[in-house]
Amino acid sequence: MIKLIKNIAELANLKESLHLALGVFDGLHIGHQQVIGTAVEAARQEGGLSGVLTFEPHPIRILAPELAPSRILASLNHKRELLRDLGVDIMVVVDFTEDFAGCEAEDFLSSLVGACHCLKTISIGEDWKFGKKRRGDIAMLQRMGRDKGITINSSQAVMLDGERVSSTRIRQAIRDGNMAAAEAMLGRSYTVLGEVIEGRQLGREIGFPTANLRVFNEQLPTNGVWNVSVAIADGDMINGVGNLGMRPTVEGDQAKRMLEIHLLDFDEDIYGMTMEVEFLDYIRSEQKFNSVDELTRQIRLDVERCREFHVSRSS
């Protein structure tokens, strides 16, 4: 796991030179990866550490909560894992509050430069804005860079199918169940992270034990039954059947949306553990059955289809 720094002042504890990418980076899609990759490459070539400075919560939740998406593409813990995979050494998380939102762009830059032992490069997207009333921009950074001897790298927006890659487009693709489109924009398979919690144990009673997942406010695809692959505690990938929805057959009027997964050929105690779920293929829509026996027969068919899918996928 990469080093986590919880405020700008803690950067003073780093004695190495630093190459920072600045941004919100919700989802870490291919456009974000281009910005972050510039910082990682600068650290590789010039020496020192690569870092990402981001904000929690998403600034739009403070600045315009009525416009904020109900779901994010990567929780903070998930983002940390993804940044590790991109070769980043440290993640700096700034608490985005109303007070911080009122901070002048010049003051933000001064605190950042002042805290670092040796800030060598800053990488941003070409249209990234920061500070009070979003007055901070690439021109301001470049002026500061000339004064302080810091190289400023900006990356152009990444286009796909004639449109700019954005977190909004990705969220919509996931809601639509278009995982191929989401994967193209993310540059990786879309996964969600969650904690395995104890459920009603009905799955175990009917012969198909399930792991019930409390997802960390990440965007979920359309309801239904999915072929999935999961990783538990950095272990090997395990195939399974995921049911996302209200479970109308067994929950009735008490139904609430949840994700439960039957793992193939797996029977270990994983309560409290973190699970990363990849949605691979949509099997069918959610249905309400007349009885638990009817539900059990359908689950058996779903599991058979899941096994066939994974066999064909691996061949």
Domain locations along the chain: 3-158, 189-314
Could you name the CATH architecture of 3-158? 3-Layer(aba) Sandwich (3.40)
Confidence of residue 183 (pLDDT cuts 50, 70, 90): very high
Determine the CATH number of domain 189-314. 2.40.30.30
- Whether the per-residue pLDDT at 181 is higher than 80: the answer is yes
Output phi, psi for 86, to 5 deg. -85, 0
Cis previous bond, 59, omega within 30: no
CB 48 within 8 A of CB 18: yes
Per-residue pLDDT tens over the stretch 233-266 = 767 789 999 999 876 555 555 557 889 999 999 8
Per-residue pLDDT tens over the stretch 98-127 = 999 999 999 999 999 999 999 999 999 998
- Whether the per-residue pLDDT at 169 is higher than 60: the answer is yes
- Whether the per-residue pLDDT at 93 is higher than 70: the answer is yes
Q: Which secondary-structure segment (H or E) carries 192?
A: strand 191-197
Q: What is the 3-state secondary structure (H, E, C) of 53-98?
A: EEEECCCHHHHCHHHCCCCECCCHHHHHHHHHHCCCCEEEEEECCH
pTM: 0.87
